[in-house]
Amino acid sequence: MQIVEGSADRVIIDIHRQLDGLPSTPSKPTIYRVDSHLRNDKWNDVYDPEILSVGPYHYGILRLQNMQQLKFRYLKRYLKRRNEQSVERYVSAVVHMEKRARKCYADSFDLDENAFVTMMLLDGFFLIELFRYSSFKHLRDADDPIFRHERVLSQLRHDILLLENQLPFFVLNQLFNMTKTDENPEDDLITLALRFFDGMLLNLSVSRVLKRLPVQIIDHLCGLIHDVWCLPFAEAISHKSNERDKWENINSISGLREAGIKFKRAKEDDNLMDIKFVNGVLRIPQLIIYDETESQLMNLIAYEQYMSDGERRYVSDYTFFMHCLINTSNDVELLRSRGVIENCLGDDEEICLMFNRLGRNILTSTNFCYSQVFCSVNRHCQRRGKRWKANLHRNYFNSPWSIISFLAAMALLVLTLTQTTYTVLTYYNRKR
């Protein structure tokens, strides 16, 4: 096909226009739809919201519309509290962030500028006010339907941490800063958010983490929880060299116990993933398992699959470690008896099934965080096996006469069994 001269000029101009419109450094999306290879029809509830849509991916779904009225109600109550008559300045701020916010979403959605700005404004105010109401009871309506029912709060915590159900954190932070007053100083947005998720932080020392967590690196609320979980562990192992590509899976906790390995709850529980193996003892920080734990882990794993370059996937590696340890409900019972697991589900079998599900098709880091632990555990098991053989040789086969005596005893045993079998068969044949 030949392009005429005039058409060629137009093509060149169009291509240059497209090239000029590209940013100098392409921004990487941070909010994704969970791919089908991670999803399963039985597990959609761990990725899909139950009652609340945040962001564009689940916007407009009919079963989530009840919360839309509450979003307007929260905005109205805020304006009344501040004696403001208009949302103009907030809309203007969101409009200014609209293009940058769109680039945070990796997948397409059908919202024009007005609908997108409205969605961000309502969702942003709802989350900010929800976190404030959670910390400051005097700000709530007496008949607020969320805080009257713990089940609703549990559903909201589930929904707000879903990877598909996110707003860019810079949008939330901008709106939060615009709504603070000098007369009513309060904590920063990160502290309020983490206070809302309190029970899901798994004994972590949040105050220590916050000092080292700049707001600029936070992608969204799901990313915030990931950073709070992983930052202490990332710093703890940053100076260690791992044994890349040399590790093999370890046995379940029952198998390790049979091999002589002891296991205890780590004294320091504020670093969930910091598992150590020293002098034949596996020390594991306590994991508290709630109804939301599976969904939380699966969404953090999905976040790592999309955001990580593969070098470090902390939650994925931790989950795979626990998957290796837990093969049956007996393994869960053993871990519970040592205080390593606190089961708030009430059923050890359910925890076993949960980790079996989580371990399927999981992508660990190329530089696996627990390679040293795995290698040390396996070496210990191998050494113990060799010691058993050595003890057997030393105590029972320490001379040629011992070996001859053993072989003679075995031969005598075989002859005795053969004679007994022959006698029994002869007896039954005669009876016939």
Q: What is the dihedral of CA 271, 272, 273, 277, to 10 degrees?
A: 80
Instruction: Report the share of the chain in percent with pLDDT over 70.
Output: 79
Is 38 in the same domain as 158?
A: yes
Last residue of a domain, one of 144, 163, 196: 196
Structural domain includes residue 279: yes
pTM above 0.85, yes or no: no
Tell me the mean pLDDT in the region 309-329.
91
Is 29 in the same domain as 139?
A: yes
pLDDT, residue 413, reads 77
Structural domain includes residue 372: yes
Structural domain includes residue 191: yes
Is 377 in the same domain as 405?
A: no
Q: Is the per-residue pLDDT at 24 higher than 50? A: no
Is 146 in the same domain as 289?
A: no
Residue 48 and residue 58 in contact, taking contact as beta carbons nearer than 8 Å: yes
Structural domain includes residue 432: yes
Strand partners, 7: none
Between 341 and 240, whose confidence is greater?
341
pLDDT, residue 246, reads 77
Is 32 in the same domain as 179?
A: yes
Is 247 in the same domain as 167?
A: no
Structural domain includes residue 27: yes
pLDDT, residue 209, reads 65
Is 192 in the same domain as 263?
A: no
pLDDT, residue 37, reads 80
pLDDT, residue 77, reads 96
pLDDT-derived band at 386 (thresholds 50, 70, 90) equals very low
Output the CA–CA distances (angstroms, integers) from residue 279 to 84, 263, 376, 380, in the order listed: 65, 11, 10, 9
pLDDT-derived band at 412 (thresholds 50, 70, 90) equals confident
pLDDT, residue 427, reads 66
- The whole domain housing 413 covers 400-432
Between 312 and 319, whose confidence is greater?
319
pLDDT, residue 109, reads 95
pLDDT, residue 299, reads 95
Structural domain includes residue 96: yes
pLDDT, residue 432, reads 58
Is 183 in the same domain as 50?
A: yes
Is 179 in the same domain as 244?
A: no
pLDDT by residue (tens digit) across 44-61? Answer: 689 999 999 999 999 999
pLDDT, residue 390, reads 43
Structural domain includes residue 282: yes
Q: Is the per-residue pLDDT at 394 higher than 50? A: no
Output the CA–CA distances (angstroms, integers) from residue 112 to 54, 78, 102, in the order listed: 16, 26, 11
pLDDT by residue (tens digit) across 192-213? Answer: 999 898 766 655 556 666 666 7
Is 49 in the same domain as 151?
A: yes
pLDDT, residue 61, reads 94
Instruction: Report the share of the chain in percent with pLDDT over 90.
Output: 56
DSSP conformation class of 67? H
Which residues have C-beta within 8 Å of that of residue 370, sequence separation ≥ 6? Answer: 247, 275, 317, 318, 321
Geometric angle at alpha carbon 420, from 417 and 425, rounded to 5°: 125
pLDDT-derived band at 232 (thresholds 50, 70, 90) equals confident
Last residue of a domain, one of 165, 180, 196: 196
Is 375 in the same domain as 432?
A: no
DSSP-derived pairing of the beta strands 281-284 and 276-278: antiparallel
Cβ burial 330-354 (10 Å sphere, 16+ → b, else e) = ebbbbbeeeebbebeeeebeebbeb
Query: Worst-scoring range by mean pLDDT, 20-24, 142-146, 273-277, 417-421?
Result: 20-24
Query: Worst-scoring range by mean pLDDT, 44-53, 127-136, 241-250?
Result: 241-250
pLDDT, residue 314, reads 93
Is 32 in the same domain as 166?
A: yes
Last residue of a domain, one of 136, 163, 196: 196
Number of domains composing the chain: 3
Nearest to 66, CA basis, from 55, 54, 52, 76: 52
Structural domain includes residue 222: no
